[in-house]
A and B are shown apart, each in its own frame.
Chain A
Amino acid sequence: MTRTTAEPGTRTVDESARTPEQHATARRSARRSRDRRHKLVFHLVTGALVVVVLYPAVWMLVSSFRPSAQIIGNVSIVPTEVTLDNFVAAFNGIGGVSFWTFFMNSTILAVGSVVGIALSSAVSAYALARIDFRGRRVWFGLMIATLLLPVHVIIIPQYIVFNNLGLVNTYWPLLIGKFLATEAFFVFLMVQFMRNLPRELDEAARIDGAGHLRIFGSIMLPLMKPALVTSSIFAFIWSWNDFLGPLLYLKDPNLYSLPIALRLYVDQTTGAANFGPQMATAVLALVPVLIFFIIFQRYIVEGVATQGLKG
């Protein structure tokens, strides 16, 4: 609010008989109604955007309760015929593999990724942000450079390496990199976060006789909670939704994760595609991600809010 313009005496008042106070009040109420109008337009536009963005999700939810034959070509989100058959079919699994197997596989991969990324990235970030070793800047630069490599360039060499190690059709190819801090994005995120933490904290700890392990474990790790939570959320969601990795490395249907299982319902070349159970599985697959996000999102906000108060 630009209140200063309404201060008496700061403006010439000869254009009307109104006192400066009256003038200011009139202007203020005019502005307020303009603000209200702006707010209304703003809310209408964002509301419309929300509808556009959420429509497919709502459609998916409604479709999961529709008979399979009524799903395709039907854009309505008003349920006409409600059935639970899709969910029954979804829980029955595919090709002799139960839904819970897929669910467990996805969970193992996601939890493994979260643990791996949180541990390895925090340790690597500590080294890059706090320890002065020879070539630190070069190593940091190299790590950032791996962010620039398109995934598609490394798929095949990586596959050949894992294949020669005999690790294809296990979870190792999908998890080991995460335990070795190869996800440069997360390392970078944590390095930046750690650089913002005051150095005086670890210097004080060092004077008290703490080594690197102690400083990392007792000083840095607790302070890094927001960065760890942010990383965990992304790691979880990315792993949960990852399709290409499991597609290439997992051969046994008993090891498939949910995104692969989702595709097994709708093979267009095998007669009528079964969209109902696919929708139902998709809805079920979304639930953990939603829960995870709802639980942890406040930490993101908290992280931003406490950022300025450190020290």
Chain B
Amino acid sequence: MKRCMRIAAVLTAAALTTTACGSSGSGDGGEDGGDVNLTMTWWGNDDRAQRYNEAIEAYEAENPGVSVTTSFVDYPNYWPARATEAAGRSLPDVMQMDVSYLRQFASNGQLLDFAEVEGDGVDLSGLPDPLIPSGQVEGAQYGIPVATNAFTLFTDAAGLAQVGVELPENPTWEEYHDFLREVATAGGTTEDGQPVYGAGDYTGVFWMFIHWLNQQGIEAFTEDGELGFTQDDLETWLSSVDDLRAEGLLIPPARINQLSPLSPFDAGETTSEMTWDNFAAGYATNNPDVELELQPIPSDDPENPGLFLKPSMLFSIGANTDHPEEAAALIDYLVNDPEVGDVFGTSQGLRASSFQRDAMTMEGLDAEVAAYEESIEPLLVDSPPPPVEGFGTIEARLLEITENINYGTVSVEDAAAQWYSEAEQTLADNQ
């Protein structure tokens, strides 16, 4: 019995020491006017980590009394970790945020509204006005855009020279379709003997559809988070490439799947692709022969290509923060300081703030992307608010359904009806 008591005593002592260690370790100070310790986290790789370390060291040197503890993981694992922290009300003071998660975190009250920050807060004057709503949920600013992407039509000049086809500047949709037909019938092949196409079936890309809707003056989503377009709109869009599909002039989905995770454009098997302009660097890495050219996506009205800026990432503050002012000051520094712009270059996308962008010297591909985004600035429409919950599901579903259209297992009409009712259901479930 005595021995048992002794063991119990030892265990209790161990438990007590543990607790004591913990509480002494977590004391950040701050209340006594001393040093402030901010926690900050982002998703990314080695390269991004080095850039952040450099930027934050500079910040700490300029702001004695503030230290920043950083942490990072890869994108897919970033979100379960943040969700767990949110449940424990222990989100980091400053975190990198993605537009597709902003609404979820903000509507659960886990993020700080920047309007509630006292003091100087974050200077938004450097940001393009149409971009600012992208960080707002129900009118409150929960995210500050760091850098931007815009949709573009990429063409590969080298590939096109080989097949001897040219794309007119600022093409209409009809001109673009004619171009796709010409490339596919030109009979060009890659080094491996694969036929070269103009493009894949782009109607399955939901963002592409949103841009087309913008061109028609239709908002993709209503303010209540419901679909803003009709089933007919979707059917018109999906059937716009019917002729090309019927003649087999788009790269077949089977081939696209074989090439995955590379895109056919990476592999040089298509000569054009419409996507976000930050893909440029990836294309250049994966296909060393590519000669990239960027221009606005096709539109029947050259004054309205329906383009907008999408923040590649934002910064948010956890609602549980003890140091909102210091957190906002750090974000202000990261978003607006010209030196930080130099440190990151275009690795996060084109810097959103003109304070950073104007001070940067860019070369090669970066300069090309920057010039593109500058050229479309007068044409921009307002950035859409953060996507509704369930956006990812309906986005993936559209891609699947167009794949089935291309396999010939479903008609365009049925596909549109099926997607539309499913999407309505998904959005209703997520309300």
Judge: A and B partners, yes or no: yes
Interface set of A (CB-CB < 8 Å, partner B): 69, 72-73, 94-96, 155-156, 159-160, 163-168, 170, 172, 176, 179, 211-213, 244, 247-248, 251-253, 260, 263-274
Is the CB–CB distance between A270 and B47 below 8 Å? Answer: yes
Taking a contact as CB atoms closer than 8 A, the residue among A166, A170, A264 that contacts B74 in the complex is A264
Is the CB–CB distance between A272 and B41 below 8 Å? Answer: no
Is the CB–CB distance between B74 and A267 below 8 Å? Answer: yes
CB distance from B381 to the nearest CB of A (A): 25
Is the CB–CB distance between A267 and B45 below 8 Å? Answer: yes
B240 at the interface (CB under 8 A from A): no
In the complex the two chains form, what is the Cα distance from A213 to B45 in whole Å?
52
In the complex the two chains form, what is the Cα distance from A62 to B365 in whole Å?
33
- Provided the pairs A253-B71, A267-B74 are in contact, do residues A274 and B84 lie with their beta carbons within 8 angstroms? no
Is the CB–CB distance between B44 and A270 below 8 Å? Answer: yes
Chain A residues closer than 8 Å to B69, beta-carbon distance: 251-252
In the complex the two chains form, what is the Cα distance from A247 to B82 in whole Å?
10
Chain B residues closer than 8 Å to A270, beta-carbon distance: 43-45, 47-48, 347
Chain B residues closer than 8 Å to A273, beta-carbon distance: 45
B172 at the interface (CB under 8 A from A): no
Is the CB–CB distance between A264 and B46 below 8 Å? Answer: yes
Chain A residues closer than 8 Å to B50, beta-carbon distance: 95-96
CB distance from B75 to the nearest CB of A (A): 5
Is the CB–CB distance between B49 and A95 below 8 Å? Answer: yes
In the complex the two chains form, what is the Cα distance from A271 to B285 in whole Å?
9
Closest to B259 in A: A73
B53 at the interface (CB under 8 A from A): yes
Main secondary structure on B side of the interface with A = helix
Chain A residues closer than 8 Å to B282, beta-carbon distance: 271-272
Is the CB–CB distance between B286 and A272 below 8 Å? Answer: yes
Is the CB–CB distance between B285 and A272 below 8 Å? Answer: yes
- Please name 10 further chain A to chain B contacts, defined as beta carbons within 8 Å, in addition to the given A165-B22, A260-B73, A267-B44, sorted by A numbering: A95-B46, A95-B50, A95-B53, A165-B19, A247-B81, A263-B77, A264-B49, A267-B74, A269-B44, A272-B285
Chain A residues closer than 8 Å to B53, beta-carbon distance: 95-96
B187 at the interface (CB under 8 A from A): no
Taking a contact as CB atoms closer than 8 A, the residue among A165, A167, A172, A251 that contacts B71 in the complex is A251
Contact with A along B59-83 (1 / 0, CB 8 A): 0000000000111111101001100
Taking a contact as CB atoms closer than 8 A, the residue among A160, A176, A211, A265 that contacts B87 in the complex is A160
Chain B residues closer than 8 Å to A265, beta-carbon distance: 45-46
Subset of 9 A-B contacts with CB under 8 Å: A69-B286, A95-B46, A159-B85, A166-B25, A176-B18, A212-B3, A247-B73, A267-B48, A269-B44
- Provided the pairs A156-B87, A263-B73 are in contact, do residues A94 and B285 lie with their beta carbons within 8 angstroms? no
Chain A residues closer than 8 Å to B74, beta-carbon distance: 263-264, 266-268
B409 at the interface (CB under 8 A from A): no
Closest to A263 in B: B74
- Provided the pairs A95-B49, A96-B53, A271-B347 are in contact, do residues A168 and B90 lie with their beta carbons within 8 angstroms? yes
Is the CB–CB distance between B87 and A159 below 8 Å? Answer: yes
B281 at the interface (CB under 8 A from A): yes
Closest to A131 in B: B4
Is the CB–CB distance between B43 and A267 below 8 Å? Answer: yes
B39 at the interface (CB under 8 A from A): yes
CB distance from B38 to the nearest CB of A (A): 13
